[in-house]
Structure 1
Amino acid sequence: MTMTVLVVATGNPGKLREIQPYLEGLRWELKLKPPEIEVDEVGTTFAENAALKASQVAIATQNWAIADDSGLEVTALDNAPGIFSARYGLSDGDRIDRLLRELGDHGDRSARFVCAIAVAQPDGAIALQTEGICLGEILTAARGKGGFGYDPIFYVPDQGLTFAEMPAALKQEVSHRGRAFQSILPRLKALDAEA
């Protein structure tokens, strides 16, 4: 079976590991983007940033590329931190502390995680795009030991758990990234058959 290279437009090996299970059984050979390729995330939406990353990495490597851009939107904070979720502090702890401080004791704690995914052809043209959303609430204190980022304070009422409390398989199924991959997978399989 011939493998087609699919460059994951991130330097983060953890993100590569998180994406791999969704693509099991397909003929895509996942590779991290080379560290020398830097993409400025100048888009104003998750979808724009995902498309920028996928397109620029595809052109630079002359391979298919996949990128995601994701973050947390808190209703009472006018959807902040949004596209700046990863830059809301110097560490996960800083980001959580800042978010809880800014939210204070506000009565509306509704929030959502958003994940946009884009797949680009080797010439940089966007072949596929989708978005996944997971609705939840922001707790007043962290719960759970798993996950990363805002996972310990993002509570999913349907599951009765924070992302940090969920077993990996459950988070993979109900998370914003999981939903985005469920949406794009049938089209990715069709591309895999053509590539």
Structure 2
Amino acid sequence: MTATPNSDTANPQWVLASNNKGKLNEFKRLFNAANLNIDIVPQGELNIDDAVEDGLSFIENAIIKARHASRISGLPAIADDSGLCVPALGNAPGIYSARYAGEHGNDANNNAKLIADLKPLRQANTPIAGYFVCVLALVRHADDPLPIIAQGLWQGEILEAPQGENGFGYDPLFWVPDLQLTAAAMTAEQKNKISHRGLAINSLLQQLANQ
């Protein structure tokens, strides 16, 4: 699908409010496939530090990050806030997914903590459900009163041990029954078609096309 931004978002450059390499790679593949005709610039290339994510929801944090990047750069900005929710843990790690074990972005420690926290809750032959959430916020300028919001949810199960060498974050523990694969065992093409981030980007593109 090709989206044609309206005059408010027609700047040839947008800032991607993330320095997460895994997210950056996924966004680049998905935006290129969408033929946006927009140059998506990671905020790190503009020397923009991460925003303070002090919201209480994925939506709040996505907007905070987008406004922060737009205010410093003077460009339209798009931000992603995403994470893994496990209902058996009260939807933890949720918005704290990247720092679940304490250190921001330590995937190995975060996965180990999730495995440990779920161990006493496991029952034989009973899968533990989980779902990935991705919320995108696009602001045309830092004080945009009506950000464009898009959301994607990806349902799956949480394994007892990691499988797969691809992806990042909790991908090695996220089992997709329909494909009999973890997110970390999928190719990039497989993942982009069905992932929370792929679904959110498709929703965003549809909203842009309808403007």
Higher mean C-alpha displacement, 51-60 vs 77-86: 51-60
> In 2, are the aligned partners of 1:68 and 1:116 still within 8 Å (CA)?
yes
- Change in Cα spacing, 1:37 to 1:141, as seen in structure 2 (3 Å) is closer
TM-superposed CA distance for 1:3, in Å, is 6.1
Higher mean C-alpha displacement, 65-74 vs 180-189: 180-189
Q: Specify the code of the residue in structure 2 equivalent to 1:93.
A: A
CA distance in 2, matches of 1:66, 1:142: 31
TM-superposed CA distance for 1:175, in Å, is 0.8
Name the counterpart of 2:5.
none
- Change in Cα spacing, 1:77 to 1:168, as seen in structure 2 (3 Å) is same
Structure 2 counterpart SS, 1:104: helix
CA distance in 2, matches of 1:19, 1:111: 23
- Change in Cα spacing, 1:166 to 1:11, as seen in structure 2 (3 Å) is same
Name the counterpart of 1:161.
181
TM-score (norm 2): 0.84
Structure 2 counterpart SS, 1:85: helix
> In 2, are the aligned partners of 1:55 and 1:121 still within 8 Å (CA)?
no
CA distance in 1, matches of 2:22, 2:184: 16
Name the counterpart of 2:133.
114
Does structure 1 residue 87 correspond to structure 2 residue 102?
no
CA distance in 1, matches of 2:21, 2:154: 24
Structure 2 counterpart SS, 1:67: strand
Structure 1 counterpart SS, 2:155: strand
Structure 2 counterpart SS, 1:66: strand
* Unpaired segments ≥5 residues, structure 2: 1-9
Name the counterpart of 1:152.
172
Q: Specify the code of the residue in structure 1 equivalent to 2:109.
A: D
Q: Specify the code of the residue in structure 2 equivalent to 1:159.
A: L
Q: Please, which of 77, 80, 89 is the counterpart of residue 65 of structure 1?
A: 77
Q: Specify the code of the residue in structure 2 equivalent to 1:32.
A: P
> In 2, are the aligned partners of 1:63 and 1:122 still within 8 Å (CA)?
yes
CA distance in 1, matches of 2:136, 2:143: 15
Name the counterpart of 1:140.
160
Give the number of aligned pairs: 190
Higher mean C-alpha displacement, 4-13 vs 130-139: 4-13
> In 1, are the aligned partners of 2:63 and 2:147 still within 8 Å (CA)?
no
Q: Please, which of 129, 150, 155 is the counterpart of residue 130 of structure 1?
A: 150
TM-superposed CA distance for 1:189, in Å, is 4.1
CA distance in 1, matches of 2:175, 2:21: 26
Deviations along 1:151-191, one digit per CA (max 9) or x if unpaired, are 11100112211001111101011111011111111223456
> In 2, are the aligned partners of 1:61 and 1:122 still within 8 Å (CA)?
no
RMSD between aligned residues: 1.8
- Change in Cα spacing, 1:138 to 1:38, as seen in structure 2 (3 Å) is closer
TM-superposed CA distance for 1:15, in Å, is 2.4
> In 1, are the aligned partners of 2:134 and 2:200 still within 8 Å (CA)?
yes
TM-superposed CA distance for 1:39, in Å, is 1.1
Deviations along 1:17-62, one digit per CA (max 9) or x if unpaired, are 2112222222211111133444110111111100111112112211
Name the counterpart of 1:173.
193
Q: Identify the structure with the greater strand proportion.
A: 1
- Change in Cα spacing, 1:161 to 1:13, as seen in structure 2 (3 Å) is closer
Does structure 1 residue 11 correspond to structure 2 residue 19?
yes
Name the counterpart of 1:31.
41
Name the counterpart of 1:187.
207
